[in-house]
Amino acid sequence: MTGLGGNDTLSGLGGLDTFVGGIGNDTYIVDSSDDIVVELAAEGTDLVQSSVTYTLVDNVEKLTLTGAAVIDGTGNNVVNVITGNSASNTLTGFDGNDTLNGGGGADTLVGGGGNDTYVVDNVSDMTVEFAGEGTDTVQSSITIALADNVENLSLTGGAAIGATGNDSANTMIGNTGANTLVGASATTSSMEGLETTT
């Protein structure tokens, strides 16, 4: 199945399909682990919507998991935006400055190299970041304690929630509610909204 020069949507609707998007911001609907996506460099900003566990091929930037099954998504070496579905997913980036958003469920977010952004909305969400893998940020709509090797935190929404830093040099920014931001050693807290900092 081959697109042309527009922003195409390619869906095989079952079977072992090969999608060639061409130039444009294309969307690929993947429903089998055997589906093949072909995208060349500089052919647009492209999206895979997958109902199965999927690893992005080269030159595709975005991955969104669909449905309600427990499946996983893995990026590539460009800047990725990876979004989970309503179940518990493991989302894994690589060397780009990736954004990982688990969606619903208790998700595990693994950034890899690059300056990654983790979107957290569940108390059971886990962020996994190793030393020397960039300057990373958690955007959280719930009370949270920063995991090791994550430097920055931004609280979202308007709820009265809090945050606790780690042993890195942290920058923590509150939301529009009344927040309590608690630093740890070597921590710098940056305040926005009505906060209590310690």
* Pair 40, 8 in one domain: yes
pLDDT in tens, the chain (198 residues): 888 789 999 998 878 999 999 999 999 999 999 999 999 999 999 999 999 999 999 999 999 999 999 999 999 999 999 999 999 999 999 999 999 999 999 999 999 999 999 999 999 999 999 999 999 999 999 999 999 999 999 999 999 999 999 999 999 999 999 999 998 765 555 555 555 555
**Whether the predicted model's global pTM rises above the 0.75 cut:** yes
* Pair 123, 92 in one domain: yes
Domain end (from 79, 107, 134): 134
* Pair 78, 104 in one domain: yes
Distances in Å between the Cα of 159 and the Cα atoms of 17, 107, 127, 183 are 45, 22, 22, 20
* Pair 118, 165 in one domain: no
Q: Which of 98, 101, 130 is nearest to 114 (CA)?
A: 98
Domain end (from 112, 134, 156): 134
* Pair 18, 91 in one domain: yes
Domain end (from 134, 155, 181): 134
* Pair 186, 95 in one domain: no
Number of domains comprising the chain: 2
Q: Which domain holds residue 101?
A: 1-134
User: How far apart (Å, rounded) are the C-alpha atoms in residues 103 and 89?
Assistant: 9
